[in-house]
Amino acid sequence: MKIIICGAGQVGTAIARQLAVEHNDVTVIDWSADLIASISKSLDVQGIVGYASHPDVLERADARNADMLIAATLSDEVNMIACQIAHSLFGVQTKIARIRTQAYVEPMWSDLFSQDHMPIDVIISPEHEVARAIIRRLQVPGAFDAVSFADDKVQFLGLHIEEDCPLIDTPLSQLTELFPDLSIRVLGIRRGESTIVPTAADQLLVGDDVYLVTDIQHRERVLSAYGHEETEARRIILIGGGNVGLFVAQELERQGSNINIKIIEASQERAQDIAVQLEKTVVLCGDALDADILREANVSQADAVIAVTNDDEVNILVSLLAKREGCKRAITLVNNSVYRPLMSSLGIDVYIDPRATTVSTILHHVRRGRIRSLHSLPAMGAEVLEVEALETSYVVGKPIRDLDLPMGVLFGALVREGEVLMPRSGTVIQKDDRVILFALSDQIKKVEQMFSVQLGYF
């Protein structure tokens, strides 16, 4: 595919890196000559210095022959105009835009981005994506990562292996013997800085991060088997009343009346604004780093603190203070990748990477074939994908052992006529199966080819 990416910031660079690894024809546009020089030097992409909303710049990027434009600059207006020009002047088929300003994405104005007005095919709101990621983590206490696949039939989990995990030093091949009626498939292990695509002989060690899939009906039993029996949070304190904090509070209010929610917001004006928009949430105005404010919020009795201010340092420090005071769990928004390796050692239970959540959503719309959903794992250099098996796909009608799967690709689960199955070497993939699999980034292209329609079909 020929893809134009507007913006060489963190999101644009992450997408460009992934697409370049898959041997796509990628062009990146940014007004910063330094950013373009850096990305051109480190990645196999073409870099163009200029404003993505200018027709002559898009023409230099050969927009006329582009299959897709991804507008991810820091300016919503530049992103929207770039998509409009790509459509009107160059006929680019697929336009994706990152839009931060919430006024643009209000449901009442949804017609703005229709084909008759400003034709943008996919709108990505980072704040909404981060809020959804936080809600998912809250719903699965004990997991630092959690995503549902196949219409909520399959659960993907990231779990930290601690000293009380009963499965330490147990070969993965013995899991079936230990839990014969439990659907579990380990897809990946993160050990220090190393990514392990596991074999049956591999074992889990203290400190590992393990990634697995299971039938969602078995989720609680799986968490217990891995030593995680945390209860779902009912007393929640949100630090930061910006868009993310507001979205999370609104969603929690919709979920039920038995959840106690408090927000600490530093700005008096913003605190008053969100207090009007929330019905059951207590809004406190003050500095979350002030011990008196935390005590007023009763942080020692909280089940979870969720730090989502615009300042990474504040988010980290408040999370640590809350944990020291007795809060059971900390979920922390971290933008700067420098801090991420420190999260576990600091005692922060879950950190949310807004870049990764946005990239996952964008890549979902980039993938070819019948990839219905995906979840990006930047720390692993991998993705978890849900793929639909088409009638003439290479994988259909063959036992898994005969598929000659590339190194770094593992089948985790499949859903057939609503039933979740754990695939074995002799399992034959059938038409319309939903397959959830793990793939290292440099193998994604091969996965797409395996599940795409074969030419003989036409």
pLDDT in tens, 405-438: 888 999 999 999 999 999 988 999 999 999 999 9
The token duo for 154 is 């399959």
Dihedral sign computed on CA atoms, order 149, 153, 154, 160: positive
CB atoms within 10 A of CB 282: 14
Same fold, 130-225 and 357-457: yes
CATH code: domain 2-124 is 3.40.50.720
The percent of residues above 90 in pLDDT, for the chain, comes to 59
pLDDT score for 359 = 83
- Angstrom distances, CA of residue 310 to CA of 69, 88, 245, 287: 28, 36, 11, 13
The yes-or-no verdict on residue 451 having pLDDT over 80 is: yes
Q: Band the pLDDT of 458: cuts 50, 70, 90.
A: very low
pLDDT at 108: 74
Could you tell me which CATH number the domain at 130-225 has? Answer: 3.30.70.1450
| pLDDT score of 396 more than 80 | yes
Closest CA to 125 of 429, 437, 354, 383: 354
pLDDT at 145 over 80: yes
The reported pTM is 0.82
CATH class of 235-353: alpha beta
Residue 456: per-residue pLDDT: 38
Mean pLDDT of the chain: 89
User: Does position 339 have pLDDT exceeding 80, yes or no?
Assistant: yes
Q: Is the pLDDT of residue 457 over 70?
A: no
Spell out the CATH class of 357-457.
alpha beta
Instruction: Enumerate the domain spans of the chain.
Output: 2-124, 130-225, 235-353, 357-457
Q: Is the pLDDT of residue 341 over 80?
A: no
pLDDT classification of 146: cutoffs 50, 70, 90: very high
Q: How far apart are the first and last CA of the chain?
A: 21
- The three state secondary structure string of 127-163 is HHHHHHHHHHHHHCCCEEEEEEECCCCEEEEEEECCC
Higher pLDDT, 452 or 395: 395
DSSP tally for the chain: helices H, then strands E: 15, 22
Token duo for residue 252: 């929690």
